[in-house]
């Protein structure tokens, strides 16, 4: 349903203007255009922002200041509040958006930097300068190469305890070139195999297995190692496993006998 209209008189120029029936109840004044609204506020000192009406604002002896638009240079009036809160003044929203877009493009202009690793000259956005502690890299490879080993924040000496089986791995960067043939696909070597190979002065063969005599897999002392061919090691492991199973059964039977004797004693 369309709103009912009524004819009102513009409070600035006196022209007739069509407004909806409840306009007077909600608004104190009625104007035929935005220009009349601003002129009325200039005359009655009720406004904060007057667009391209700086001359009339000066004539009205308002407390603000007459400045130039930051984009097009038109003369505008700005109240003390606007001068205090905002650095630049604009005559319209269009000028405001155009000026902000131009300033953002200036800030986004690419800077010429030099890669810290390979010394290659390249361009990057200024916003990226806060990353990598102010250092500049042309690629991920250069960044990773510069943050290796002791320079990396998570460096733990190149040793990693494997939670799955208890063995210790040595990082690929710490493996001597003479023993690279023992490395896995990820470049790492198990510490006990590397120590035995260094003790013998040669890389170990794939069929050679280093056994921990005391059964503790991260106890990598040279006097705790036993070097076996894989078939022999499999036999030793099978014997140790069966022996451990027998001992566990004996312990279980002894515990049950002890429990029975304790109940009889009570």
Residue tagged 């809160």 (tokens): 85
Q: What is the dihedral of CA 212, 217, 219, 220, to 10 degrees?
A: 70
Beta carbons of 203 and 182 less than 8 angstroms apart: yes
* Burial grade of 156 (CB within 10 A; 0-12, 13-18, 19 or more): exposed
Tens of pLDDT, residue by residue, the chain (266 residues): 556 888 888 888 888 888 888 877 788 888 888 788 877 777 775 544 444 444 454 444 556 777 888 888 888 877 777 888 888 888 888 888 889 888 887 777 777 888 888 888 888 777 777 777 778 888 888 888 887 777 776 777 778 888 788 888 988 888 888 998 898 888 889 999 999 999 999 999 989 989 888 888 888 899 999 888 888 888 878 888 888 888 889 998 999 888 888 887 76
CB neighbours of residue 83 within 10 Å: 13
Q: Is 109 strand, coil or helix?
A: coil
- Listing DSSP states for 160-200 in one string gives EE-TTT--EEE-GGGS-GGGGGG--TTS-EEHHHHHHHHHH
């Amino acid at each position: 349903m369309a709103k009912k209209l009524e004819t009102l008189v513009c409070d600035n120029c006196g022209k007739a203007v069509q407004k909806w029936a409840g306009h007077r109840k909600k608004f104190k004044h009625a104007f035929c255009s935005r220009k009349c609204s601003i002129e009325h506020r200039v005359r009655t000192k009720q406004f904060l922002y007057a667009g391209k009406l700086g001359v009339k604002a000066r004539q009205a002896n308002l407390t603000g200041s007459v400045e130039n638009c930051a984009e097009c240079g038109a003369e505008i009036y700005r109240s003390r509040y606007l001068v205090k809160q905002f650095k630049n003044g604009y005559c319209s929203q269009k000028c405001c958006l155009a000026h902000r877009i131009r300033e953002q493009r200036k800030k986004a202009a690419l800077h010429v930097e030099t890669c810290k690793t390979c010394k290659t000259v390249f361009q990057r956005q200024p916003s990226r300068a806060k990353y990598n502690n102010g250092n500049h890299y042309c690629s991920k490879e250069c960044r990773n190469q510069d943050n290796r080993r002791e320079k990396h924040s998570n460096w733990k000496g190149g040793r990693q305890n494997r939670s799955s089986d208890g063995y210790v791995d040595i990082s690929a960067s710490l493996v001597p070139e003479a023993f690279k043939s023992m490395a896995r696909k990820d470049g790492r070597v198990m510490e006990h195999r590397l120590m035995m190979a260094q003790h013998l002065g040669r890389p170990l063969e794939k069929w050679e297995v280093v056994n921990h005599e005391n059964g503790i897999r991260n106890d990598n002392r040279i006097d705790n190692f036993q070097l076996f061919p894989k078939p022999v090691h499999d036999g030793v492991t099978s014997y140790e496993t069966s022996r451990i199973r027998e001992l566990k059964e004996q312990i279980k039977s002894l515990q049950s006998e002890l429990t029975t004797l304790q109940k009889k004693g009570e």
